[in-house]
Structure 1
Amino acid sequence: MSARGSPLARKTLSTPHVRAPFRNNFACPPLNCGQMRPVAARDMILNIGDTVRPGVVQAVRGPGVAAAIVAALIITGLYVGREIFVPIALAILLSFVLSPPVDRLERWRVPRSAAVPIVVVGAFVLIFALGSLIASQVTQLAEGLPGYQQTMQDKISSLRSFTSVGPLERAASVLQDLGKELNKPEASVETPRTAPQPDQAKPLLVEVRAPPPTALENVASLISPLLQPLATVGVVLIFVVFILFQREDLRNRLIKLAGANDLQATTSAIDDAAGRLSGLFLSQLGLNTAFGIVIGLGLWVIGVPSAVLWGILAGIMRFVPYIGAFIAAFFPLTLAIAVDPGWSMLAWTAGLIIITEMTVGHAIEPMLFGRSSGLSPFAVVVSATFWTALWGPIGLVLATPMTVCLVVLGHHVESLKFFDILLGDRPALSPPENFYQRMLANDPGEAVEMAEEYLKERTLSEYYEEVALKGLKLAHNDLKRDRLPAVRLAAIRDSVIELIDDLADEDDDARKGDTNDAEAEAAIEASVPMPELPFVIREGLPAAWQAEYPVLCVAERTDLDEAAALILTQILSKHGLGARVAKKEDVSSSGIFRLDGEGVALVCISALDDGSPAYTRHVVRKLRRKMPQANILVCYWMAENLAITKDSIKADALATRLSTAAKYCLDLAQPRGETSEDGAPARDVVLRVAG
């Protein structure tokens, strides 16, 4: 008997593989000689002691988690250490306000050792005088409040009678009485009470009186509420003095922290930030002081009690934009209701506050320092809520100045850039990025609104060149990097077509309006004014240009090229030159035969891709064979490859901007007899400019 046929061998071979001591953990058939099996990463055991558990995903700790932990620690530290950080924040803000007076004294040859004490002592004397004035006003108000109680009760009664609904109110009262009757508990049988015994002793009333406070305790009770404010003032005073004395040393340390690799850029950024903050806070201090004086005088004339107190409060609360004036207006409006038996004082008070705030906020403030504080309205509300939750009422006053500091530093320091993006009032996206994003979202309506704001100051061709074509270039760059699916191109083209249709009634001429839209202002600041394009009259054109559409704009490859061609077509049409668009399929090997070239005097090839001049030469050759009578202009929109010339692609002219392409087309259509200022034929001059 062979070994293979023995009972022991049959028993061994019949045992399943999974019951072997070294069983197959991967539930796969055993390998033959020379075979290899790929092992998934989840099945790999990197170390001998590692245990692989299927279905368990290891948590990945990225930079976002670390940043969240750091932010949580910082916020916790600010809350726990508010007794320390509040004086430091006050000292830093006061140093920004007091630095210009110190600099002025130093320019007058006053040494810093004398200039700093003079300015600091003067500032704190004003602060203490203001505090004593507030205390006296609060005392007078507290003494007069009981006299206003009856007036308030009368007005509440009049309001209640005015808002009563007669039968409905009586019906509600009846229903309430019925509900009370239904909910009344049933009468219970009272147990008889035991009559007091005549000889039972009554309890004695014992009164415990504390000993009268000593003179030292009276002094301590008076001083204890003032200890914390005085300590805070002392800490602020010390920090302000040291900051003003050590400004240069602190600046150098901040430069070292921000980055010493580029001292010139860092120094200019720090100096610019410090100068801007000092000027902003000093201007706001003066403006808010004037605002408080006007409010105080107006309330005094109207007859509102403690007018000086409400003027001071209005000046302080106006450091909180958008909502500070409304918070400060609550108290004088309430007093106006309580003092006057009628409603005239309330109306005069509300009118005073509204007119003054509108005048200062919308007329004087923009004239003095531009777009307010540089914060978005959302950032103001969020910062006010955040700092008030951390530090209480003082945090509400400090919220805007501290947030302005963060935004200015974020504008200059790269590592703090996110503060400028999140909290600043500058548009987060550039105008071309915003245009591209709206096209991706298939929402050309918002792009049209921004275009209409832009067109209040600039021409239509400038908008197309500085915003629309640059936005299409961004889309093309994403397409080259495989970040934009090709199926989205048609949707972007359709959105651009809708945008062009909505702007069809706009003229391409100079504007003298003014826009207040932040995104439109950013686009205007970034754009370069274009020279005015000429207008042509069809009847005065040469015979070759008398056709209805003498210009044919051809899309080279993609739907984005077609969208750019449509833009050029509209600009030419607005200047009197008819143009039409041929799709990319019309220049293919089969579509070129169906392309209608009748009456075409100029062919414009629209291309956003300037990286394939060989393909452009191929398209130019096909178009020349189809329309030998036509000139050919290649438009490489926003070209980055400056080595390409019109000779290298066998074209008559090459343009990279909308203004150059439109000017070439319009000048080429003019009669050849016209000359330019230097006596050269107009066509030759344009060819040199376009090239």
Structure 2
Amino acid sequence: MSHADRSPSWEEENVPAAASPASTILSLQIGVIIVAALYFAREVLVPITVAVLLSFVLSPLVNFLRRLRLGRIPSVLIAVLFAIGIIAVIGTIIGSQVAQLTRHAPEYASTIEKKVLTVRELALDKISGVVEHFGYDVKSGQTSTTPPSTPRADSPPREQPAPGAQPSNPLALLEKYLSPVLSPFATFGIIVVVAIFVLLQKEDLRDRMIRLFGSTDLHRTTVAMDDAAKRLSRYFLAQLGLNSAFGLVIGSGLYLIGVPNPILWGILSALLRFVPYIGSFMSAGLPIALATAVDPGWSMAIWTAALYVVVELLVSQGVEPVLYGHSTGLSPFAVVVSAIFWSWLWGSIGLVLSMPLTLCLVVLGRYVDRLEFLDVLLGDRPPLTPVESFYQRILAGDADEAQDHAELLLDKRSLSSYYDEVALKGLQLAANDAERGAIGHRQLEKVRNTILGLISELSTYDDGHPPSSGEPPAGTPKDQQRIAESPPPKTILNPRSLSAPWQGERPVLCLAGKGPLDESAAAMLAQLLDKHGLGARVASYHEASREGISSLEVTGVAMVCISYLDIQGNPSHLRYLLQRLRRRLPDTPLLVGLWPADDEVLKDKAVQMAVGADYYVSSLRAAVDVCVAEAQKGSRPTALS
């Protein structure tokens, strides 16, 4: 077989070249260097990061105070002192509550010890009952005891530290005992000082960042920084208010249940809930343990656990989606992965800061081209448009996924809107790939069979507005929501009221163009016509070719609709096709559907006259409207709307 005779196949398709290995290796090296710098410089970076994020929280308060004409420096100082005061009050309350808790610790330990013994005896009774079935009595059984080991005579004696040995250097003593105490205060002081300077020089720092990263595109850089600032401020304030309310509800509930120190557990619950996903459950551990220690029974512990579960579910599933929506711009997967990554880098403080830090990375990826991969990996914006998602599914031959994708979209739009806005444009992508040789014959056949199967499965849907309204169903992927919606044709004809030529079983002939996927577009049009009271059948291009036009079945045909996904800027074969149809059906109106709306034929009246069709449309909805209007000519009082 010669090379010219070989038909292209899926295995022979050309795959676009990947990025150069040198560029990929360089990007990996830069990434490793950045991660290493974040890890080894964490002692410096963590306080600065916390200070910058704290400035986002205090910025609205500073702006409010400045609107009261207090001046920049007094406004910043008042806001920072207010934050320090709140932290001091919370610390004092926590300290007093912990001191009160420790006074009753022996009583709680005694109760827990009794419950442990009760549980152990119960477990032992259950185990002995099972083992007795095998002929062994656990309670009367003798267990061998191992005599205490005596040290071997030849083993060297262990060296004992000299009693009362202490470092003799006074500086070493100060470092040993004062360093753990002063280190948190030093870190807190750094955070406060940096936050003050960030708030004082906010505009200057913004201008410096613009000069550093985007002086050549001031608009884009300014929009990026404003977007990041608004998202972070909105996120922090919303989360602060929500977590405070969560702690208040938990504290009140624990007070009603009777758990000691409810104020402590309410504050702890509010603070730990800043940790994504697991924070509220971490905060539930100590109150449940304390309830177990206080109550001789188990009812208090059960009520405490139920309180946390119910409140967390109400907040996470009810309040947060309404309060946050998609304002943070992060996907759930990104939140989990970022929590793991930042906690590995910076420990517990990294776990708390993971969400805002990742949010900053997503904003950078949204506006900086070289960092776009961050927005794709971590953001909540759809990586594929609805059209691309449709094309990916039919390209893979996954009929079930394609149907599931279509059904989710059809919950909010009509069938004709889905075909026009998604399916036809997806077929255009496939036709373009087939034209440039990116899809082989076997793969093209798989695409054709998948789309025809999908059209058949969607035959149960009416072409009308779906009854559902409001927001998309929970769990609907975002790439199945953001598409335009055109209203469906309103008229549904009664065939018995039409004129004689239109009363046949299938008065409309949907003829496929010359392209490999034009028959699929013709099948969509035929299905929509049938749903609006006009029977239609699909014919292939071969049936209207020079060899097959004489045998084309035209009995009862009142109109011909020709579907083209692409005529490649050369309508000559379309003109010859229309000439053959004119000779075969001289008095029948001819409609040409050119689904790429920017085709030259749709814009140039001279070309349209040369081609010779009666109607030109660029959407299936328009094609249905034209056919319905033609059918209503000369009909009796007619349509069922």
CA deviations over 1:304-343 (Å, ceiling 9, x no partner): 2332232223222323343332232233233333332222
| Corresponding letter in the other structure for 1:538 | P
| Corresponding letter in the other structure for 2:609 | D
Aligned residue in 2 for 1:625: 583
Aligned residue in 2 for 1:106: 66
Q: Give RMSD over aligned pairs.
A: 3.3
Aligned residue in 2 for 1:656: 618
Structure 2 Cα separation of the partners of residues 379 and 547 of structure 1:
58
Distance 1:591 1:167, change over 3 A: farther
Q: Return the offset for 1:300.
A: 2.2
Alignment counterpart, residue 553 of structure 2, candidates 596, 611, 614: 596
Structure 1 Cα separation of the partners of residues 67 and 574 of structure 2:
66
Which of 462-471 and 320-329 deviates more?
320-329
Q: Are 1:479 and 2:434 counterparts?
A: yes
Structure 2 Cα separation of the partners of residues 493 and 447 of structure 1:
13
Aligned residue in 2 for 1:249: 204
**Secondary structure in 2 matching 1:647:** helix
Q: Are 1:456 and 2:456 counterparts?
A: no
Q: Do the aligned residues in 1 keep the contact of 2:414 with 2:488 (CA within 8 Å)?
A: no
Structure 2 Cα separation of the partners of residues 674 and 135 of structure 1:
88
| Corresponding letter in the other structure for 1:502 | E
Q: Are 1:126 and 2:83 counterparts?
A: no
Distance 1:432 1:177, change over 3 A: farther
Aligned residue in 2 for 1:637: 595
**Secondary structure in 2 matching 1:552:** strand
Q: Do the aligned residues in 1 keep the contact of 2:55 with 2:198 (CA within 8 Å)?
A: yes
Distance 1:306 1:632, change over 3 A: same
Structure 1 Cα separation of the partners of residues 435 and 30 of structure 2:
38
| Corresponding letter in the other structure for 1:627 | L
Q: Do the aligned residues in 1 keep the contact of 2:512 with 2:519 (CA within 8 Å)?
A: yes
Alignment counterpart, residue 573 of structure 2, candidates 596, 612, 615: 615
Distance 1:219 1:209, change over 3 A: closer
Q: Return the offset for 1:215.
A: 11
Distance 1:603 1:159, change over 3 A: farther
Q: Do the aligned residues in 2 keep the contact of 1:551 with 1:578 (CA within 8 Å)?
A: yes
Structure 1 Cα separation of the partners of residues 174 and 256 of structure 2:
40
CA deviations over 1:560-589 (Å, ceiling 9, x no partner): 211121111111111111111112332333
Q: Do the aligned residues in 2 keep the contact of 1:550 with 1:578 (CA within 8 Å)?
A: yes
Aligned residue in 1 for 2:13: none
| Corresponding letter in the other structure for 2:33 | L
Kindly indicate whether structure 1 or structure 2 has the higher relative contact order, using CA contacts under 8 Å at least 6 residues apart: 2
Q: Return the offset for 1:449.
A: 2.2
Aligned residue in 1 for 2:522: 565
CA deviations over 1:271-313 (Å, ceiling 9, x no partner): 2331222122112111111111111221222122332232223
Q: Percent identity?
A: 44
Aligned residue in 1 for 2:487: 530
Structure 1 Cα separation of the partners of residues 617 and 142 of structure 2:
87
| Corresponding letter in the other structure for 1:114 | P
Alignment counterpart, residue 92 of structure 1, candidates 28, 34, 52: 52
Q: Return the offset for 1:79.
A: 0.8
Structure 1 Cα separation of the partners of residues 448 and 170 of structure 2:
87
Which of 381-390 and 666-675 deviates more?
666-675
Q: Do the aligned residues in 1 keep the contact of 2:491 with 2:532 (CA within 8 Å)?
A: yes
Aligned residue in 1 for 2:544: 587
Structure 2 Cα separation of the partners of residues 102 and 245 of structure 1:
10
CA deviations over 1:51-109 (Å, ceiling 9, x no partner): xxxxxxxxx74211111111111111111111011111111211111111111112222
Alignment counterpart, residue 268 of structure 1, candidates 201, 205, 223: 223
1:201-216 matches, within 5 Å, as 208-210=163-165
**Secondary structure in 2 matching 1:503:** helix
Structure 1 Cα separation of the partners of residues 613 and 407 of structure 2:
36
Q: Do the aligned residues in 2 keep the contact of 1:569 with 1:581 (CA within 8 Å)?
A: yes
Q: Do the aligned residues in 1 keep the contact of 2:254 with 2:304 (CA within 8 Å)?
A: yes
Q: Are 1:406 and 2:368 counterparts?
A: no
Aligned residue in 1 for 2:42: 82
| Corresponding letter in the other structure for 1:666 | V
Q: Return the offset for 1:226.
A: 2.2
Which of 79-88 and 490-499 deviates more?
490-499
1:515-526 matches, within 5 Å, as 515-516=472-473, 521-526=478-483
Distance 1:157 1:478, change over 3 A: farther
1:83-232 matches, within 5 Å, as 83-163=43-123, 164-170=126-132, 171=134, 208-210=163-165, 223-232=178-187
**Secondary structure in 2 matching 1:117:** helix
Structure 1 Cα separation of the partners of residues 119 and 448 of structure 2:
61
Paired residue total: 600
Q: Return the offset for 1:395.
A: 0.9
Structure 1, unmatched stretches of 5+, are: 1-59, 194-204, 677-681, 683-691
Aligned residue in 1 for 2:22: 62
Aligned residue in 1 for 2:256: 301
Aligned residue in 2 for 1:445: 400
Q: Do the aligned residues in 2 keep the contact of 1:467 with 1:523 (CA within 8 Å)?
A: no
| Corresponding letter in the other structure for 1:100 | P
Aligned residue in 2 for 1:357: 312
Q: Do the aligned residues in 2 keep the contact of 1:636 with 1:655 (CA within 8 Å)?
A: yes
**Secondary structure in 2 matching 1:429:** coil
Distance 1:628 1:258, change over 3 A: farther
1:228-243 matches, within 5 Å, as 228-243=183-198
Q: Do the aligned residues in 1 keep the contact of 2:414 with 2:464 (CA within 8 Å)?
A: yes
Which of 515-524 and 382-391 deviates more?
515-524
**Secondary structure in 2 matching 1:605:** strand
Aligned residue in 1 for 2:297: 342
Distance 1:206 1:343, change over 3 A: closer
Distance 1:317 1:604, change over 3 A: farther
CA deviations over 1:127-175 (Å, ceiling 9, x no partner): 2322333333344444444433343344344444555244433559789
Q: Are 1:428 and 2:386 counterparts?
A: no
Which of 471-480 and 110-119 deviates more?
471-480
Structure 2 Cα separation of the partners of residues 257 and 675 of structure 1:
72
Structure 1 Cα separation of the partners of residues 177 and 353 of structure 2:
29
